[in-house]
């Protein structure tokens, strides 16, 4: 086996310091105290584009005193993604998440604590078949409530569906049955609580933060009742959280509190919930905006399933037109627009040095539309993933899931899930946009990107 | 043919192990791929190609050498 020769790279050895290089250029237009924070909160993607245009592949932004160095372009992004945990730490890079997850759950735990934490075996390949069955069943349940025709809110519909699928697959089927629509509304409020003003202080007395904290308290309340009911469940029905709550420290006190387990639930859901839900919505919107691709996908699904095969079988196999449509929705509308790490010891790139203490970042929204890597980058073109072009093979440029060691571990699960959802949905119903096509857009005022309301589509049974 | 893996990219999804168990394993301690046969037998070519193709992180390459 050949491992990359890491000792030759300038970022490998903190014991033998590399001489300091130049400081990265600073982006102009800083406001006193806030720096570029207001630009980040209003037009984040334009801000990242401005860094690339005015500073080049490396440029420093200022979020209320937090210095964030944006790396862009395939080469600089590769340096970022190949950074080790010891040098580039995810902890502390996302201060707006700590009040949501709660203390001691994810990003404020030390790397050691996290290494001992749960390694999610449920995402391994051997579990995918069972997950596919669950997702097909959950999609069918949502469809059963739709009736022959009507209108649906894309954000609400896919949020509710993916809450059920994610919890059933990652936590357990018993637990999923405890969930009601109130849960996805609570999650919506948590997600709305990711205002970048958290870079000033994540506990400021602002409406968005108060709503966030109320939503989290409500979730602890809801889950406490669930776990109390489940405490008497027979052993063979016990699932992940029941087991965690039954663990005891040597002195007999509980290892985890309901508050901590709530935090684990939030963190497990956060990675796969708004991301998959938003991607499902955008896939549908783009297919309806470009009806020729919509017709190709529906035709492909009709042909594949003509023999009566199961969704859970096909979702694990190739569905090229649909996969291209999903990948293109991901490229144009990545659910995470800024990936960040805290620099633990000096980070060197070409002649520049980012000193310890600052943040480095890469923007999927910026990268996925770089004209150097993608032909007609703003055009929705699912054919760019076909054999011969395969534009997603540029691992450090096509980065809706990130790249490198922290690439989204749920990427394969998410693709399978989206294939299962659309296999059922597009064969059961025909959809059309209920608003002018250009009115569907993302709300970028929070760090967690959400589809902006209204976002309505019409449907009728096929 | 020669199998190359980029362990910076590997996340231990174990798809390669499912596709080509004679060539790949996953180390439970590191959660990273282990190549059992760097130059696998020609008869395994189809399996290895599937492992390359379906690796969720595209961490495997096949070289003709």
pLDDT (tens digit per residue) in A290-328: 999 999 999 999 999 999 999 988 888 899 999 999 999
Closest Cβ opposite residue B56 in set A82, A405, A412:
A412
**CATH 3.30.70.20 is right for the domain spanning B2-63:** yes
Band (pLDDT 50/70/90 cuts) for residue B21 is very high
Range of the domain at A327: 6-461
Interface of B with A in 44-63 (CB under 8 A): 56-58
Flag if B11 and A409 touch (Cβ within 8 Å). yes
The tokens describing A146, both together, are 């739709």
pTM of the model: 0.90
3-class SS of residue A359? strand
Quote the number of domains for chain A.
Answer: 1
pLDDT greater than 90 at residue A91: no
Contact present, A341 and A359 (Cβ < 8 Å): yes
Task: Inform me whether the C-beta atom of residue A397 falls under 8 Å from chain B C-beta atoms.
Answer: no
Task: Inform me whether the C-beta atom of residue A123 falls under 8 Å from chain B C-beta atoms.
Answer: yes
Contact present, A11 and A348 (Cβ < 8 Å): yes
Flag if B35 and A403 touch (Cβ within 8 Å). no
Task: Inform me whether the C-beta atom of residue A430 falls under 8 Å from chain B C-beta atoms.
Answer: no
- ipTM of the shown complex: 0.79
Angle between helices A258-272 and A274-289 in degrees, nearest 10: 20
Q: In B, which residues are within 8 Å of A2 by CB distance?
A: 4-5
Q: What is the CATH number of the domain that holds A284?
A: 1.10.630.10
Q: Does residue A15 sit within a domain?
A: yes
Q: Does residue A271 sit within a domain?
A: yes
Tens digits of per-residue pLDDT, B32-42? Answer: 999 999 999 99
Q: In A, which residues are within 8 Å of B8 by CB distance?
A: 4, 82, 404-405
Band (pLDDT 50/70/90 cuts) for residue A8 is very low
Tens digits of per-residue pLDDT, A372-419? Answer: 999 999 999 999 999 899 999 999 999 999 998 888 888 889 999 999
Q: Does residue A347 sit within a domain?
A: yes
Q: Which of A124, A399, A411, A415 should one mutate to test binding to chain B, selecting the residue with the greatest count of B CBs within 10 A? A: A124
Band (pLDDT 50/70/90 cuts) for residue A1 is very low
pLDDT greater than 90 at residue B4: yes
Q: Does residue A1 sit within a domain?
A: no
Mean pLDDT of chain A: 89
User: What pLDDT is recorded for position A115?
Assistant: 43
Q: Lowest mean pLDDT: which of A57-66, A170-179, A288-297, A320-329?
A: A170-179
Q: Which residues of A30-65 are buried (b: 16+ CB within 10 A; e: fewer)?
A: eeeebbbbebbbeebbebbbbbbeebebbbbbbbbe
- The nearest CA of chain A is from the CA of B3 a distance in Å of 8
Q: Lowest mean pLDDT: which of A123-127, A242-246, B2-6, B19-23?
A: A123-127
Phi, psi of A267 (to 5 degrees): -70, -35
Q: In A, which residues are within 8 Å of B38 by CB distance?
A: 1
Flag if B13 and A412 touch (Cβ within 8 Å). yes
User: What pLDDT is recorded for position A116?
Assistant: 41
């Amino acid at each position: 086996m050949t491992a990359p020769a890491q000792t030759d790279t300038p970022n490998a050895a903190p014991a033998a310091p590399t001489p300091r290089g130049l400081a990265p250029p600073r982006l102009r237009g800083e406001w006193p105290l806030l720096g570029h924070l207001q630009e980040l909160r209003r037009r984040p993607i334009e801000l990242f584009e401005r860094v690339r245009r005015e500073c080049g592949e490396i440029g420093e932004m200022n979020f209320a005193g937090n210095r964030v160095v944006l790396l862009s372009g395939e080469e600089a992004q590769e340096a970022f993604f190949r950074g080790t945990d010891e040098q580039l730490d995810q902890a502390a890079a996302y201060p707006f998440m700590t009040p949501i997850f709660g203390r001691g759950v994810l990003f404020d735990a030390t790397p050691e604590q996290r290494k001992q934490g749960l390694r999610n075996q449920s995402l391994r390949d051997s579990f995918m078949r069972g997950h596919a069955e669950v997702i097909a069943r959950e999609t069918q349940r949502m469809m059963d409530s739709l009736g022959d025709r009507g209108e649906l809110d894309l954000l609400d519909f896919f949020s509710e569906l993916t809450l059920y699928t994610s919890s059933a697959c990652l936590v357990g089927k018993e637990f999923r049955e405890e969930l009601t629509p109130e849960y996805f509304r609570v999650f919506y409020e948590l997600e709305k609580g990711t205002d970048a003003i958290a870079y000033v202080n994540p506990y400021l007395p602002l409406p968005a933060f108060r709503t966030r904290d109320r939503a989290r308290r409500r979730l602890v309340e809801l889950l406490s009742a669930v776990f109390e009911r489940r405490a008497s469940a027979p052993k063979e029905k016990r699932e992940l959280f029941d087991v965690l709550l039954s663990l005891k420290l040597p002195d007999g006190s509980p290892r985890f509190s309901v508050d901590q387990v709530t935090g684990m639930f939030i963190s497990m859901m956060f990675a796969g919930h708004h991301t998959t839900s938003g991607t499902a919505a955008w896939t549908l919107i783009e297919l309806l905006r470009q009806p020729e691709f919509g017709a190709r996908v529906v035709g492909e699904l009709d042909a594949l399933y003509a023999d009566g095969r199961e969704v859970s079988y096909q979702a694990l196999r190739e569905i090229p037109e649909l996969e291209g449509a999903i990948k293109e929705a991901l490229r144009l509308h990545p659910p995470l627009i800024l990936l960040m790490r805290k620099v633990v010891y000096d980070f060197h790139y070409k002649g520049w040095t980012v000193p310890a203490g600052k943040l480095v970042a890469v923007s999927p929204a910026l990268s996925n539309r770089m004209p150097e890597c993608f032909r007609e980058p703003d055009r929705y073109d699912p054919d760019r993933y076909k054999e011969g072009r395969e534009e997603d093979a540029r691992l450090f440029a096509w980065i809706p899931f990130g790249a490198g060691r922290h690439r989204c571990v749920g990427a394969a699960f998410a693709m399978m899930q989206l294939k299962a959802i659309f296999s059922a949905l597009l064969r059961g119903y025909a959809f059309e946009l209920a608003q002018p096509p250009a009115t569907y857009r993302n709300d970028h005022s929070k760090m967690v990107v959400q589809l902006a309301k209204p976002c309505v589509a019409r449907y009728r049974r096929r | 043919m020669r199998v190359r893996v980029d362990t910076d990219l590997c996340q231990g999804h174990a798809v390669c192990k499912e596709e080509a168990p004679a060539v790949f394993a996953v180390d439970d301690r590191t959660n990273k791929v282990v190549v059992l046969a760097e130059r696998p037998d020609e008869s395994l070519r189809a399996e290895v190609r599937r492992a390359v193709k379906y690796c969720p992180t595209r961490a495997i390459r096949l070289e003709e050498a």
